[in-house]
């Protein structure tokens, strides 16, 4: 065949292949549209059933934007429908490594933003913001484009969850050109319409929370129009923004009507929980407290079970894995000493064989073979020991995540207003513990706070602590009296309490303008009230019974007319019962002496001073109990 005829054949083959490639790309676009439509409509089973075939098609046609977005949809479905948050994080990390190895900058940025969304979902806000900012830096020089709406929305969602409204406003302004000028009607880009709608909803919520109600009203009117014309892709979030606007404007009946329309649209347990809290606040503003409590009680039980189920499963897996690893370590030690024994036996045998020279050749060969087998067993033992070390490091990593989840349940940011100086700290004796503290500031006028100590330590105490905090926050929002809060919590915690766990608590309600304090002490250590040098003293009070021991208990509340100008210090017994190397306790007298000698600078200064004193007293001894301290002054 001549070279001219060969060129003609190759050219014809190339021309025939081009339409086929174009058809494959058109097919990939059609499949992508279906994947997006399934996700937007909440058709998670259909998306899960077709995602593997779709991802292979996108990889073959080189449409990597479709590839990464579809893979992330599948991860979000697993988290939203099955509550497998940790599995979602592991899959996202594998997807990130794939994007990095193939030098897909857009893929790396989008996957980083998805991992940030997942960490925000489980409450690890520090890690979430770190990942989101890294994702934005990956797209530096490209933002904003239509393809970046997914990344921008994930970042705005994380900033909203962390209360970083200033940064959220900046990122929304970055996307405004896309929100205002992107044209409707492109059916192949339904996902970008959806995230545009979500950013509009987020902007409305941002204006409401920053008190710019006139601008928020304009956006609410736009949302009403979009819902009426069926242009709103995420009607639940739009109605949420509308309800928050009416609540902030004081139009509670319209706010309640908006939540009624949200109820059938809630697709996940997190949405059911946030909707229930919003309805509870609106009902309480309408002076319908009984309905608010009836709304809240079943929601507390259901939500606590759902949020703690994954945590319990993770901890059970960790415990099971720990037992397996201990058995492996024991087996490895036995194999190691067995190998050493065989080696010694071989050496003795060799000495005997040297004396018997006429059998030396045959027996030396056999001993050599035995030595080789022993060496192989020894190498296997070392390899198994290395595997055990890796498994132990993985367990320690998962326990750190469990500790982060527990620490995220207590507040880490404290009021910055002039009327109150408040600070608290919690230090578990193990990876997770049973101490707790919490507070709720209402309209900068009323402060609900508590400090508690669950019986026992470790994982069981941490689970009981999580349920206690959920109940306290819910009841504090109803503005119940401290004694009533204790009674309601005792009723809930004593039901089905087969493990007979209980919690000692100090619950307080402080009026900031007057300094009036209502409180109820439930078997807890007496707090210290300090008014300067030599004036610190323990408060005399009714001890009551710890919460959760049995149903039907009554609790007596007390009050102090005013604590203005005085520092109130509440703590757990991990302070006064802290032990040194000789098992001597820190004691109440040493605690009172430090507070009497100290000139009050701030609540944080008091807690830091005591923490340093306890550390010096222990002198290297391991903590024998969880330690929690809270100090406030009005």
Answer yes or no: is pLDDT of 313 > 60. Answer: no
pLDDT in tens, 583-599: 999 999 999 988 888 77
The CATH number covering residue 360 comes to 1.20.120
Q: What is the pLDDT of residue 68?
A: 85
Q: What is the pLDDT of residue 505?
A: 96
Sign of CA dihedral 410, 413, 417, 420: positive
348 and 437 in a single domain? The answer is no
At which of 365, 381, 407 does a domain end?
Answer: 407
pLDDT in tens, 233-265: 678 888 888 988 898 888 999 988 988 888 888
451 — pLDDT class (breaks 50, 70, 90): very high
Q: Stretch 62-69: mean pLDDT, rounded?
A: 85
Give the chain's domain count.
2
479 and 584 in a single domain? The answer is yes
395 and 510 in a single domain? The answer is no
| Cα–Cα distance measured from residue 355 to residue 565, given in angstroms and rounded to the nearest whole number | 95
Q: Where does 257-307 show beta strands of DSSP type E?
A: none
Lay out the sheet containing 517-522: strands in order across.
Answer: 435-442, 446-454, 503-511, 517-522, 558-560
318-340: b (≥16 Cβ within 10 Å) or e:
beeeeeebeeebeebeebbeebe
Name the residue with tokens 């998805």.
114
Best CA proximity match to 155, nearest among 171, 144, 179: 171
DSSP state of 204: H
pLDDT in tens, 151-183: 777 777 777 767 777 777 777 776 666 655 444
196-220: b (≥16 Cβ within 10 Å) or e:
bbbbbbbbbbbbbeeeeeeebeebb
Answer yes or no: is pLDDT of 606 > 70. Answer: yes
Other beta carbons within 10 angstroms of residue 432's beta carbon come to 24
Q: Stretch 24-31: mean pLDDT, rounded?
A: 84
In three-state secondary structure terms, 623 is: coil
Q: What is the pLDDT of residue 474?
A: 92
pLDDT in tens, 299-312: 665 555 544 454 44
The CATH number covering residue 578 comes to 3.60.40.10
CB contact set of 316 (below 8 Å; sequence gap of 6+): none
460 and 372 in a single domain? The answer is no
Looking at the domain assignment, is residue 25 inside a domain? no
| Cα–Cα distance measured from residue 330 to residue 541, given in angstroms and rounded to the nearest whole number | 54
Q: What is the pLDDT of residue 453?
A: 93
Answer yes or no: is pLDDT of 329 > 80. Answer: no
Give the residue numbers spanning the domain of 527: 421-633
| Peptide linkage before 144 cis (omega within 30 of 0) | yes
516 and 567 in a single domain? The answer is yes
Q: What is the pLDDT of residue 229?
A: 75
Q: What is the pLDDT of residue 133?
A: 82
Looking at the domain assignment, is residue 214 inside a domain? no
Answer yes or no: is pLDDT of 545 > 50. Answer: yes
437 and 482 in a single domain? The answer is yes
CB contact set of 427 (below 8 Å; sequence gap of 6+): 574, 623, 626, 627, 628
Average pLDDT of the chain is 79
Q: What is the pLDDT of residue 182?
A: 45
CB contact set of 99 (below 8 Å; sequence gap of 6+): 68, 107, 108, 111
| Cα–Cα distance measured from residue 345 to residue 337, given in angstroms and rounded to the nearest whole number | 12
Which of 53-57, 177-181, 304-308, 558-562 has the highest mean predicted lDDT (pLDDT)?
558-562
402 and 435 in a single domain? The answer is no
Looking at the domain assignment, is residue 251 inside a domain? no
430 and 397 in a single domain? The answer is no
Other beta carbons within 10 angstroms of residue 624's beta carbon come to 15
At which of 384, 407, 430 does a domain end?
Answer: 407
479 and 576 in a single domain? The answer is yes
| Cα–Cα distance measured from residue 557 to residue 54, given in angstroms and rounded to the nearest whole number | 63
Looking at the domain assignment, is residue 514 inside a domain? yes
522 — pLDDT class (breaks 50, 70, 90): very high
* pLDDT > 90 in the chain, percent: 25
Looking at the domain assignment, is residue 2 inside a domain? no
Name the helix (H) or strand (E) containing 558: strand 558-560
467 and 529 in a single domain? The answer is yes
Q: Stretch 603-629: mean pLDDT, rounded?
A: 92
Q: Stretch 293-303: mean pLDDT, rounded?
A: 66
| Cα–Cα distance measured from residue 263 to residue 208, given in angstroms and rounded to the nearest whole number | 21
66 — pLDDT class (breaks 50, 70, 90): confident
322 — pLDDT class (breaks 50, 70, 90): very low
Q: What is the DSSP string of 337-403?
A: HHHHHHHHHHHHHHHHHHHSGGGHHHHHHHHHHHHHHHHHHHHHHHHHHHHHHHHHHHHHHHHHHHH
| Cα–Cα distance measured from residue 158 to residue 116, given in angstroms and rounded to the nearest whole number | 7
At which of 407, 441, 471 does a domain end?
Answer: 407
| Cα–Cα distance measured from residue 528 to residue 633, given in angstroms and rounded to the nearest whole number | 12
563 and 629 in a single domain? The answer is yes
Q: What is the pLDDT of residue 4?
A: 53
User: Kind of pairing, strands 567-571 and 558-560?
Assistant: unpaired
Contact 99/80 with Cβ under 8 angstroms?
Answer: no
Q: Stretch 219-229: mean pLDDT, rounded?
A: 83
Q: Label residue 163 left, alpha or beta by phi (over 0 means left) and psi (-120 to 50 means alpha).
A: left
Answer yes or no: is pLDDT of 526 > 90. Answer: yes
Looking at the domain assignment, is residue 607 inside a domain? yes
Could you tell me the CA-to-CA distances from 348 to 334, 376, 377, 449 in Å, in that order? Answer: 21, 20, 19, 74
CB contact set of 196 (below 8 Å; sequence gap of 6+): 149, 175, 178, 179, 182
Could you tell me the CA-to-CA distances from 593 to 186, 461, 536, 541, 551 in Å, in that order? Answer: 73, 32, 8, 21, 39
Looking at the domain assignment, is residue 397 inside a domain? yes
Answer yes or no: is pLDDT of 318 > 60. Answer: no
| Cα–Cα distance measured from residue 28 to residue 454, given in angstroms and rounded to the nearest whole number | 56
Looking at the domain assignment, is residue 333 inside a domain? yes
Q: Stretch 305-330: mean pLDDT, rounded?
A: 48
Structure tokens at 178: 């896309």
16 — pLDDT class (breaks 50, 70, 90): very low
Q: Which residues pair with 448 in a beta bridge?
A: 440, 509
In three-state secondary structure terms, 86 is: helix
Answer yes or no: is pLDDT of 507 > 60. Answer: yes
478 and 626 in a single domain? The answer is yes
Range with the lowest mean pLDDT among 384-393, 496-505, 513-522? 384-393
């Amino acid at each position: 065949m001549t070279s001219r005829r060969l060129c003609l054949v190759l050219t014809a083959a190339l021309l025939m292949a081009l339409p086929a490639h174009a058809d494959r790309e058109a097919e990939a676009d059609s499949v992508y549209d279906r994947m997006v439509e399934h996700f937007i409509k909440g058709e998670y089973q259909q998306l899960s059933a077709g995602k593997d075939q779709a991802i292979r098609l996108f990889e073959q046609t080189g449409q990597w934007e479709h590839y990464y977005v579809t893979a992330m949809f599948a991860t979000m479905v697993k988290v939203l429908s099955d509550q497998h948050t940790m599995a979602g994080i592991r899959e996202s990390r594998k997807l990130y490594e794939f994007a990095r190895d193939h030098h897909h900058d857009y893929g790396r940025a989008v996957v980083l933003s998805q991992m940030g969304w997942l960490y925000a979902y489980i409450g690890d806000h520090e890690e979430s913001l770190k990942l989101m900012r890294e994702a934005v830096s990956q797209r530096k020089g490209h933002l904003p484009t239509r393809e970046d709406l997914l990344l921008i929305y994930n970042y705005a969602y994380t900033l909203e969850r962390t209360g970083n409204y200033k940064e959220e406003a900046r990122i929304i302004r970055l996307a405004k050109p896309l929100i205002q000028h992107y044209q409707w009607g492109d059916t192949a880009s339904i996902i970008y319409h959806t995230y545009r709608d979500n950013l509009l909803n987020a902007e409305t919520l941002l204006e409401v929370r920053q008190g710019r109600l006139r601008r928020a009203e304009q956006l609410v009117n736009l949302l009403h129009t979009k819902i009426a014309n069926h242009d709103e892709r995420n009607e639940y979030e739009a109605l949420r923004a509308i309800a928050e606007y009416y609540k902030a404007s004081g139009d509670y009946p319209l706010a309640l009507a908006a939540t009624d329309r949200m109820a059938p649209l809630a697709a996940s347990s997190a949405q059911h929980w946030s909707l229930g809290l919003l309805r509870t606040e609106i009902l309480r503003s309408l002076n319908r407290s009984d309905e608010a409590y009836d709304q809240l009680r079943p929601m507390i039980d259901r939500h606590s079970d759902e949020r703690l189920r994954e945590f319990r499963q993770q901890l059970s897996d960790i415990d099971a894995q720990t037992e397996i690893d201990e058995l492996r370590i024991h087996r490895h030690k036995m194999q190691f000493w067995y190998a050493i024994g065989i080696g010694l036996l071989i050496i003795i045998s060799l000495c005997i064989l040297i004396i018997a020279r006429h059998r030396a050749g045959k027996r030396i060969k056999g001993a050599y073979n035995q030595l080789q087998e022993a060496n192989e067993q020894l190498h296997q033992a070392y390899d198994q020991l290395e595997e055990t070390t890796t498994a132990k490091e993985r367990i320690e990593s998962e326990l750190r995540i469990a500790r982060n989840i527990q620490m995220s349940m207590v507040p880490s940011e404290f009021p910055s207003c002039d009327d109150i100086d408040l600070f608290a700290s919690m230090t578990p004796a193990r990876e997770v513990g049973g101490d707790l503290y919490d507070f709720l500031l209402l309209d900068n006028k009323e402060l609900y706070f508590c400090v508690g100590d669950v019986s026992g330590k470790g994982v069981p105490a941490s689970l009981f602590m999580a349920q206690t905090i959920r109940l306290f926050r819910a009841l504090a929002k109803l503005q119940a009296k401290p004694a009533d809060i204790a009674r309601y919590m005792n009723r809930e915690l004593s039901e089905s309490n087969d493990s007979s766990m209980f919690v000692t608590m100090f619950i307080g309600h402080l009026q900031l303008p007057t300094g009036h304090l209502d409180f109820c002490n439930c078997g807890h250590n007496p707090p210290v009230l300090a008014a300067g040098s030599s004036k610190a003293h323990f408060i005399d009070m009714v001890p009551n019974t710890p919460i959760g021991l049995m149903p039907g208990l009554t609790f007596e509340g007390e009050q102090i007319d005013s604590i203005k100008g005085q520092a109130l210090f509440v703590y757990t017994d991990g302070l006064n019962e802290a032990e040194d190397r000789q098992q001597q306790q820190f004691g109440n007298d040493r605690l009172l002496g430090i507070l009497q000698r100290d000139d009050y600078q701030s609540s944080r200064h008091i807690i830091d001073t005591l923490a340093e004193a306890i550390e010096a007293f222990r002198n290297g001894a391991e903590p024998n109990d969880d330690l929690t301290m809270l100090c406030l002054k009005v």
